[in-house]
Amino acid sequence: MLQPLFLKPVFKERIWGGTALQKEFGYSIPTEHTGECWAISAHPNGPSVIENGPYAGQTLDKLWKDHPELFGNPKEAVFPLLTKILDANMDLSVQVHPDDAYAKTHENGELGKTECWYIIDCKEGADMIFGHNAQTKEEFIQQAKEGKWGTLLRRVKIKPGDFFYVPSGTIHALCEGTLVLETQQSSDTTYRVYDYDRKDADGNLRELHLEKAIDVTAVPHQGSITVPKTAAKDNATITTFVESTFFSVYKWDINGTFSFASDDTYLLVSIIKGGGSLVHQGKSYKLEKGRHMILPFGFGEFEVNGECELIVSHP
């Protein structure tokens, strides 16, 4: 009998991290500079461990290889997605990610990195860097090398509930006071463009990757605007944020009992607010804020009971 696969997150210390992951979700974080929760991950730099059922104790990357039937016998060699929660206690570096072709050639076969952000929370008046103002590659190179960041970089205001799709090649950076759920390709490749001249714990400036960043940055900025679509079903409101080549991402706002059937894909699910239960084939599973799970391929009909918000994705 298929069961939900609940996952134990992996936490990453970051120079810009804080304690919001502990305060908001009750996680046991390793330090007071914890920036990332790798919630659903099969990436070798931080694979999640299955917590329940017959596969308890196995890592997600091993499960992908040993039991492909749980994922519909996919063609991909590696699990394609990575779900994170980010605590931007300070500004992140201004950065850009490569596409699949560039990463395969220059990053030892790694996937490219298209990603998206759901703003769980942010301080009042928060903004982020999203894109640039250069019209030609030459203009981009000149302003970057001269450090004209105020002129070059675009800032946009954000608020809780906002969603941003960030294709590879997009200059971007989360800024101070932002808590975000990120759905991305399973990649750990980032090219830093600018890091505010910050120094690490040893007093060294962090490495920049300006030449590679110049290679992959889209010029002019492509400005991918997504228009969420909302539909009511039973006791739920389903918001479709994006349906792309790499992933589809939704938010389920549930108040009561919501019935759903999942047969033709596997689902990545994160509970970001509230709680309740998932009932499948007569068995009930507790849903709590901050838990993450995969519903395997062919999971079939199930119910979610309670008051909760879920971020749901699939390839």
* Cα first-last separation, the chain: 23
Give alpha helix (H) positions in the chain. 20-25, 60-66, 100-106, 137-145, 149-152, 210-216
Rounded Cα distance, 36 and 87, in Å? 6
| Class of residue 8 by CB neighbours under 10 A (exposed 0-12, middle 13-18, buried 19+) | middle
What 3-state class would DSSP assign to 67?
coil
What does the alpha-carbon distance between residue 196 and residue 39 come to, in Å, rounded to a whole number? 28
Q: One of 192, 198, 206, 291 is an active-site residue; which one? A: 192
Which residues neighbour 303 within 8 Å (Cβ) at sequence distance 6 or greater?
A: 257, 258, 259, 260, 278, 279, 280
Q: Rounded distance, CA 117 to CA 97, Å?
A: 15
CA distance 163 to 130: 12
- DSSP β-ladder status, 34-40 and 163-166: unpaired
Structure tokens at 107: 């990053």
Distance CA 315, CA 246 (A): 6
192 included as an active-site residue: yes
Catalytic residues: 192
